[in-house]
Chains A and B, each alone.
Chain A
Amino acid sequence: MHELSIALEVIEMLEKNNYLEDIRIVNAINLTIGNYSGIDKNYLEFAFQNLGDDRFSEVILNCDYNETDDIKVTEIIAD
């Protein structure tokens, strides 16, 4: 269940780059996930929703897939 670690890494990245300033709730995260990244979208979404951070408790993930090992956050939709 390394998706929990990935979710925490994403939040750390968003916070360090100040993307979560003044954000009350994140509705959706748009990602590009490589088929060789070893990531399962459903587990990752479950991890975000259940890691105890209220800003992500109802987040939906929208994923594009490609033939790489990338895990890239392209956009967040938030209030």
Chain B
Amino acid sequence: METEKLYPEHKKISIQKNALEANENIAKYNKSKFEASKIFVVNLLSSPGSGKTSMLERIVPFLKDLSVKACVIEGDVETDLDKKRIDALDIPSYQIITKGTCHLDAKMIDKALASSNFDLINSDILFIENVGNLVCPTSFNLGEDFKIVVLSITEGDDKPLKYPAAFYKSDIMIINKIDLLNVLDSNIKKIKENALSINNKLKIFEISCKTNEGIKELADYFMEQIADKRKDISI
């Protein structure tokens, strides 16, 4: 940019800094807490209604059967309806109501950790269910290990191309509602192709919260990650 020509009489101050430095610093602080507790943390992203809470309702019982202790931070613009669903699973949960803000940020998670009664040291996995939105939550790191984007087949195969940041920044894509493949024209192969064209390192799972298809495989994957996290930290 030729700022010399555009602004010849003004003060020019070189910065060279991450615009989200303040959030990044708090995210690092959160991460240090998670590392100290050896807890595996995932940040769940998706558009509204793709099935993030349903996925938790299905996977938590699998994890509990494997003696995994899970806890959940719920992010919603309004209501604690999702938290009530999580509470029915008899695991610790905490509700963040953003009152209009379209994403969670690291400061909100820091406050939630301070306000909740989570026993991080004796927990294995923390799910952070972000506000349903495929754009805004992608900009704000929370201190998580993985970002997971959940996409239901009812949303169409073009979503990875329309919302590339969510797929670029995620480690895992979960394709939900595959029980509807028989009644919809959705092309699951195209969904995968489009997502991988944005991020070829995405690990992909296909699940149905209606039939439980794919839930055990996903639970097994989380078990591996929990074990890896404990191993990494003990080295």
Chain A residues close to B by CB (< 8 Å): 1-2, 5-6, 9-10, 12-14, 16-17, 19, 23, 27-28, 30-31, 35-39, 62, 64, 69-79
Contacts and interface: CB of A to CB of B under 8 A. Distances in A.
Contacts of A39: 139
B30 to A, nearest CB: 16
B18 A27 contact: no
A2 B198 CA distance: 22
Interface of B: 1, 3, 6-7, 10-23, 101-103, 105, 135-136, 138-140, 164-166, 168-169, 198
A35 B163 CA distance: 11
A10 B19 contact: yes
B12 A6 contact: no
Nearest to B168: A36
Contacts of A35: 164
Nearest to B20: A9
B110 to A, nearest CB: 15
Nearest to A35: B164
Contact of A76 (B13, B20, B135, B164): B13
B136 A74 contact: no
A62 B12 CA distance: 13
Contacts of B135: 2, 38
A72 B136 CA distance: 17
Contact of B22 (A12, A23, A31, A77): A12
B165 A36 contact: yes
